[in-house]
């Protein structure tokens, strides 16, 4: 670990709901231009970790540090964290179904500029120039993925195939111009071919300079995608390292992988 390359770090991060400890003093770090996968049984605290990072929950204690200056963002509001450069997707795809593909991405662009939002309401020449710029940038984001999703730019989001809807959700997250992407089970519901193609897309995004954290259940995806793997169990980090080391760890085998590898 090189301290100069760390873009996100947690220190003794803890989240309690009444008497339930959902996160138990989790230490975590993400380096620039890397992919870290978080795995663990259902209820192990993976999505709670994302919710705390993005400000949905205020941590009971502990700290979250972000960016080159390692600014403490613990307890900041979701919109503040998003504006600083952390964007996420969800287990259940959340799109504007009756808007087109390109319009969904443009919504993400508008979140970066309050002026842009006002201009989208006012029918002015400046508004048209701004909208043209946002549309061009949105098309560039769609081109990060399979070419055929660009060809579907004017299709309603609800008419997209499932895998392309997931790509669209990631595209909209990218439109907010994040430094970090948090992807919650991006391959869920996909067949092996679709999952493999999406993993290629995610690695391509990483190679463009983004830092990515992925929650994932598919071990083949984790193996092929991850630069590093974190394992949570009952809210506690029980293992960390390369996938091949993780899969041989006795604590991990007992908590999660063992059932699938017997």
150-165: per-residue pLDDT in tens? 999 999 999 999 999 9
Pair (139, 153) in one structural domain: yes
Domain boundary among 138, 162, 177: 177
Pair (157, 194) in one structural domain: no
161 vs 184: CA distance, rounded Å: 19
pLDDT (0 to 100) of residue 51: 97
pLDDT (0 to 100) of residue 255: 81
Residue-number span of the structural domain to which 23 is assigned = 1-85+179-262
pLDDT (0 to 100) of residue 94: 87
pLDDT band of residue 92 (cuts 50, 70, 90) is confident
Q: Name residue 236's beta-bridge partners.
A: 233
Pair (170, 231) in one structural domain: no
**Mean pLDDT across the chain, nearest whole number?**
89
pLDDT tens digits for 41-70? 989 999 999 999 999 999 999 999 999 899
> Is 94 inside a domain boundary?
no
> Is 93 inside a domain boundary?
no
Pair (106, 229) in one structural domain: no
pLDDT tens digits for 216-233? 999 999 999 999 999 999
Mean pLDDT of 103-123: 67
Pair (187, 165) in one structural domain: no
Pair (188, 81) in one structural domain: yes
> Is 91 inside a domain boundary?
no
Contact assessment for residue 162 and residue 28, using Cβ atoms and an 8 Å cutoff: no
pLDDT (0 to 100) of residue 109: 79
pLDDT (0 to 100) of residue 262: 40
Pair (185, 78) in one structural domain: yes
pLDDT band of residue 261 (cuts 50, 70, 90) is very low
Pair (146, 23) in one structural domain: no
pLDDT band of residue 182 (cuts 50, 70, 90) is very high
> Is 199 inside a domain boundary?
yes
pTM assigned to the model: 0.89
Mean pLDDT of 6-34: 96
Q: Work out how many domains the chain is built from and give that number.
A: 2
pLDDT (0 to 100) of residue 240: 96
- More reliable by pLDDT, 3 or 24: 24
Q: Residue 6: how many CB atoms within 10 A of its CB?
A: 19
Pair (162, 186) in one structural domain: no
Pair (218, 158) in one structural domain: no
Alpha-helix residue ranges (DSSP H) falling in the chain: 46-53, 78-84, 101-110, 114-121, 125-142, 147-151, 162-175, 192-207, 219-225, 243-246, 250-252, 258-261
Domain boundary among 118, 150, 177: 177
């Amino acid at each position: 670990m090189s301290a100069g390359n760390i873009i996100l770090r947690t220190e003794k991060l803890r989240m309690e709901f009444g008497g339930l400890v959902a996160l138990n003093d989790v230490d975590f770090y993400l380096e620039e231009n890397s992919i870290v996968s978080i795995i663990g049984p259902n209820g192990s605290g993976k999505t709670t970790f994302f919710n705390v990072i993005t400000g949905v929950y205020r941590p009971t204690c502990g700290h979250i540090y972000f960016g080159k200056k390692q600014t403490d963002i613990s307890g900041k509001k979701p919109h503040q964290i998003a504006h600083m450069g952390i964007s996420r997707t969800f287990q259940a795809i959340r799109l504007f179904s009756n808007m087109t593909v390109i319009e969904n991405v443009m919504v993400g662009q508008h979140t970066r500029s309050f002026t842009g939002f006002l201009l989208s309401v006012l029918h002015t020449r400046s508004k048209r120039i701004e909208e043209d710029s946002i549309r061009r940038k949105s098309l560039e984001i769609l081109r990060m993925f399979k070419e055929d999703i660009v060809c579907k730019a004017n299709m309603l989001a609800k008419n997209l195939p499932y895998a392309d809807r997931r790509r669209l959700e990631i595209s909209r997250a990218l439109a907010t111009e994040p430094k970090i992407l948090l992807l919650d089970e991006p391959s869920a519901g996909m067949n092996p071919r679709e999952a493999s193609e999406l993993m290629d897309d995610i690695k391509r995004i990483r190679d463009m300079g983004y830092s990515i954290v992925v929650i994932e259940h598919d071990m083949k995806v984790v193996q092929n995608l991850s630069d590093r793997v974190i394992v949570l169990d009952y809210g506690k980090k029980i293992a960390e390292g390369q996938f091949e080391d993780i899969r041989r760890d006795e604590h991990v085998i007992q908590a999660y992988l063992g059932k699938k590898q017997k």
